[in-house]
Amino acid sequence: MFTQKKSIRFKTVLKVLAASLVCISLCFISACKESGYDVVIVGTGGAGLSAAVAAREAGASVLVVEKMPFAGGNTNYATGGLNASETSVQKAKGIADTSEQFYNDTMKGGKNLNRPELVRTLTGESGKTVEWLISHGMDLSDVGRLAGATNNRAHRPAGGAKVGPHFVQIMLAAAEKAGAKVRYNTKVTGLIQKNGKPAGVVVSADGKTENIKAKAVIIASGGFGANPVIITSYRSELTGFGTTNHPGATGDAFEWVKPFNVGIVDADQIQTHPTVVPVKNIMITEAVRGNGAVMVNRDGKRFEQELTTRDVMSKAILAQTGKTAFLLFDQGVRESLKAIEGYAKQGLLTEGASLAELAGKLNIPADVLEAEVKRYNGFASAKKDGDFGRADMPRKIEKAPFYAVEVNPAVHHTMGGLAINNKAEVLTADGTVVPGLFAAGEVTGGVHGANRLGGNAMADIAVYGKIAGTNAAAYAKGK
């Protein structure tokens, strides 16, 4: 019989065990603080979180530091999808795609400035990486097409929901579940050096400076799209441009790596996104065009192939009267992409019960717009764009109501950054490896060349984040 005395003794034992566990946990934390970590990762965007999960899976102790008070960085803003080829999702949908075609599209989009070995790894590992993400709970069941792609390969959640916030939510949970420690409001100010190698990071938190030791460091701190000083130092013509980047994308890593003579690659290759709402700087995902929208100017006319690369479309918009254009679509496109509902809630859509009503609200000639849409619908029926050669026209623009969003280009992605090899190891200016230093994501250069294709940033952070985490863990363990 379970007596009252036995019950008291049992509760006492539980209290002792609980106290012991607390003591053990405190000792572990104290030990980590004293001896450091196997791997310290800078940044909680998609690259940093992918690296954290991979490094923990490889058995390394991991600390992730983030200067912002929240996780995600620019990944929180990613909408269109994650490009990958030869995936189980594509095969289930009957989409014939190859890593070779993905490679060719990426090199062409980057004007062959990309480093081929980096692109080979990006495209060749993309399918396996998608399966890895799915195994951690990501929903990548919807597949669409973004500009510059010859096949449908942009993976995203069901219904075309935003891929970025979902990625952050799932991979942050996976990293924490795996045992990675995450610290917010912790700004890296430099790298610790020991025998000419990185040995941790110097951080500023709560007004105090702290040295955090590590056997390997992964820089995943993002690009410099929110730093107009760096941007204009490379591209003066971008003075005054808005940005789609979060406030933390300031390119701090360029200073940290100077003592190691790290190579900087393609820093002048700065991409503008063509469909950004003026003044508000809210990006409208490329997937809206991919799902059937067209671009028209103030005369109500199409002026470019909607799925051309971002640099070409940005230049075309700036050549129009007013240096803006209108993204035009119907209820059918809206129903095909959940992301549009977010734009509607933000009050970004101009709506008309008919094309004529919409034209009136936009102050463009109704007869011209109606004729232009009728002409486009004819091309969509024939599956051949007689004006601009658009290859993919998934639907006509015919289902009321009709919508438009005024857009112009804004700074979006910085293709240049730290030089790396396809093992995510950081390289010096003369091409030698900096032992123990790894990098992934927008902080690096060479993957995207002169122009990044939509969906390739998400592929980059996932593929190279995973590679960085795995290889940093191996380095830390002396393998």
Q: 92: domain CATH number? A: 3.50.50.60
Q: What is the dihedral of CA 165, 167, 170, 175, to 10 degrees?
A: -120
Q: Domain ends where: 410, 444, 459?
A: 410
Report the alpha-carbon angle 30-33-38, nearest 5.
120
For β-strands 187-194 and 417-419, DSSP reports them as unpaired
The verdict on residue 338 lying in a domain is: yes
Report the alpha-carbon angle 52-38-262, nearest 5.
80
The verdict on residue 210 lying in a domain is: no
Q: 443 and 406, same structural domain?
A: no
Q: For residue 93, how many other CB atoms are within 10 A of its CB?
A: 12
Q: Domain ends where: 382, 410, 438?
A: 410
Q: Which residues constitute the domain of residue 343? A: 272-410
Q: What is the pLDDT of residue 240?
A: 87
Q: Domain ends where: 410, 444, 463?
A: 410
The verdict on residue 5 lying in a domain is: no
Q: Which token pair is 333?
A: 């496109």
Q: 136 and 82, same structural domain?
A: yes
Distance CA 272, CA 225 (A): 10
Distance CA 274, CA 160 (A): 20
The verdict on residue 192 lying in a domain is: no
In 3D, which of 29, 102, 43, 98 has the Cα closest to residue 73? 43
CATH (domain of 347): 3.90.700.10
Q: Which amino acid is at 126?
A: S
Q: What is the pLDDT of residue 433?
A: 98
Instruction: Assess contact for 275 and 407: CB atoms under 8 A.
Output: yes
The verdict on residue 2 lying in a domain is: no
The stretches in the chain having pLDDT less than 50 are 1-34
Distance CA 447, CA 421 (A): 10
The verdict on residue 421 lying in a domain is: yes
Q: Report how far apart, in Å, the C-alpha atoms of 309 and of each of 37, 110, 111, 157, 450 are.
A: 42, 9, 11, 24, 11
Residues in the chain: 479
Q: 382 and 463, same structural domain?
A: no
Catalytic residues: 310
- H or E, element range at 343: helix 339-345
Instruction: Assess contact for 249 and 222: CB atoms under 8 A.
Output: yes
Q: What is the DSSP letter of 214?
A: E
Q: 426 and 406, same structural domain?
A: no
In the chain, the number of structural domains is 2
Q: 382 and 244, same structural domain?
A: no
Q: What is the pLDDT of residue 35?
A: 54
